[in-house]
Amino acid sequence: MTRSRRLDHQSKLLVNITSHSHRSNYLYHPHSSTSRYVLDFANFNNMDFGDSGELYTIRNQFYTWQHHKVIDYSVEQFTDVNQLKVLEYKVRSTIAIGKDASKLIEDGKTKFPGNEELFLLLSAWNDLHSFGTDDSTYFEDIKSPKFELQAILTSLYLVKFFKNIDQGIELLVSYIDNLNVLQKNELEPYLVLIQLYLVKGNFNQANKIFNNFKSFPEILKDDVIYHVIESWILALKGETDNINNSFYFYDELLANDFDNELDRFKILNVLFVLSLKLNHLPEAQEFQNQLAELGIKNDDFLANQIVMNYLSGKQSPELIEKLTELNPDHQYLVDRKDKNDKFDQIVEKYKVDV
């Protein structure tokens, strides 16, 4: 077997569908986990998960990457009880598209006094993304999160800045176990936890949590978080019907008026992956062309193009070089190196000295 052949022998697909708040990575084979979850639905009937709630549209947009639409809202468009949550979505969306949210945060401190913990958290998160540093060591000091967003952003901090997925999972599991979050209408910790399990390659654990969700009252299944999680599980579970159902979910999202190229790019990239998983190469090629026309540099897109070439019987030395330059720690490259190292070990073991 030649060196180039074994280097490019890679048929797994990059998982771009789990790009909610953390960069999506690579799909490994699932492994088992001993974590267990018992979900309590006693208080769900009084919660507003339906499509009549005032926050329904902005929640849908936030959790499906339509961040520019979220930013365009004014908090004054909403009733007083929901304005702080709207501001949180606006701040997080601003940071998500790579802009500084300092002014939003400062204005929020004035408009919503008595929420110092929330704004301290948002300021620390903004500083990390705007300036690449957190002089306050805010997240390093968080050992036991006190509230939902603190748990979410601290776990993502551990993953993004320390590449410690296991610690991010442990923090969320501890938060969920210590606080009955489902009684508090807190679903996002589950969204991030399942996401991290999938990035880690532990599909079994992610699927176990999702299967518990099937006991939800029907009204909860109208929530966008449920639909996003379902789309991930269906896509990664495999089988044509499951992948098609996930494809339709994102295809419907694409039908929305995405007036921002970056937001549209994310949806197209997911559809590109799902087309590859379905082995619909002509359709995948169309998505690849649309993505290329947007001219956005993205490591996951590069990695998916490598997979596309592999499925088409082509080599990808230039793409691999570009991916290495853009993100040398990308999980595709990590997995590729691991396979090469294992191959070298096998060759060394059975090498015959001449």
Please give the model's pTM, rounded to 2 decimal places. 0.77
DSSP state letters, 248-287: HHHHHHHTS---SHHHHHHHHHHHHHHHHHTT-HHHHHHH
Please indicate, yes or no, if residue 226 is contained in any of the structural domains.
no
* Cβ contact 19:65 at 8 Å: yes
Please indicate, yes or no, if residue 180 is contained in any of the structural domains.
no
Please indicate, yes or no, if residue 217 is contained in any of the structural domains.
no
CA dihedral angle for residue 236, residue 241, residue 244, residue 249, rounded to 10 degrees: -80
Which CATH number does the domain housing residue 314 bear?
1.25.40
* Cβ contact 16:25 at 8 Å: no
Please indicate, yes or no, if residue 197 is contained in any of the structural domains.
no
* Cβ contact 192:181 at 8 Å: no
Sign for the pseudo-dihedral over CA of 310, 284, 17, 44: negative
Please indicate, yes or no, if residue 79 is contained in any of the structural domains.
no
Residue 80 makes CB contacts below 8 A (sequence gap 6+) with: none
Q: Give the range of the structural domain holding residue 6, as residue numbers without chain letter.
A: 1-30+238-346
CA dist 211 and 201 (Å) reads: 17
What b/e string do you get for 34-52 counting C-beta neighbours within 10 Å, with b at 16 or more? eeeeebeeeebeebebeee
Q: Which of 295, 264, 213 is nearest to 69 (CA)?
A: 264
User: In sequence order, which ranges of the chain are alpha helices (DSSP H)?
Assistant: 3-7, 56-63, 67-72, 80-96, 102-111, 116-131, 148-162, 165-178, 188-200, 203-213, 224-237, 240-254, 261-277, 281-294, 299-311, 317-326, 331-350
What b/e string do you get for 275-303 counting C-beta neighbours within 10 Å, with b at 16 or more? bbbbeeeebbeebbebbeeeeeebbbbbb
CA dist 274 and 235 (Å) reads: 7
32: left (phi over 0), alpha (psi -120 to 50) or beta: beta
Angle between helices 261-277 and 299-311 (to 10 degrees): 30
Structural domain count of the chain: 1
Length of the chain: 354
Please indicate, yes or no, if residue 21 is contained in any of the structural domains.
yes
Please indicate, yes or no, if residue 242 is contained in any of the structural domains.
yes
Q: What is the pLDDT along the chain (354 residues), one digit of tens a residue?
A: 333 333 333 333 434 444 443 334 333 222 333 333 334 333 333 344 444 489 999 999 999 989 999 999 999 999 999 999 999 999 999 999 989 999 999 999 999 999 999 999 999 999 998 777 656 689 999 999 999 999 999 999 999 888 899 999 999 999 988 865 455 567 899 999 999 999 888 999 999 988 887 776 777 778 899 889 988 998 888 888 889 888 988 888 888 766 678 888 988 999 999 999 999 999 999 999 999 999 999 999 999 999 999 999 999 999 999 999 999 988 889 888 888 878 777 777 776 554
Task: Enumerate the β-bridge partners of residue 14.
Answer: 26
Three state DSSP letters for 163-190: CCHHHHHHHHHHHHHHCCHHHHCCCHHH
